[in-house]
Structures are given as C-alpha cells and as structure tokens.
Amino acid sequence: MNHGKVSGRMAAAMFGTVALGGCITVNAPEEPIVIELNVNIRQEVIYRLAEDAGNTIEDNADIF
C-alpha cells in the first residue's frame, strides 16, 4: 500500500521531470527568421500589381 503510494509519487515526480525537461528543450530559435513571408499581403493585391511588376522587370532587365 505504502509502497504503491511511494511509487505513485515517484512516477509523478519523474513525469514532472520529464515534462520540465520537455519544456527546457523547447528553445526559441537563436537566429532571426530570415524569410519574411508577409502573410498579410492579400492575393487580390498581388493580382492588381502583377502586370505593373511584370513590366518593371522587363524595363529593368539589368537588375533582374
């Protein structure tokens, strides 16, 4: 009975350690995220600008 209780506490303590260990290993990325994928830019905006952007690329062929 008592033994079972101790085992239970140990298990709880171990579980706690594992859970804590899990928390500790989740680190924030050390390097800043390089790719700025702007999720706020809507598709309709891109569609509106597509033709102008295409012309811009053609008109500035030396830098594209």
Residue placing its CB nearer to another protein in the complex, 10 or 41 = 41
Interaction between residue 64 and another protein (CB under 8 A): yes
CA distances from 64 to 11, 21, 35, 54, 59 (A): 62, 49, 20, 11, 10
Which range in 3-11, 13-21, 22-30, 44-52 contacts another protein by CB under 8 A? Answer: 44-52
| Interface ranges with another protein (CB under 8 A) | 34-38, 41-43, 45-50, 52-54, 56-64
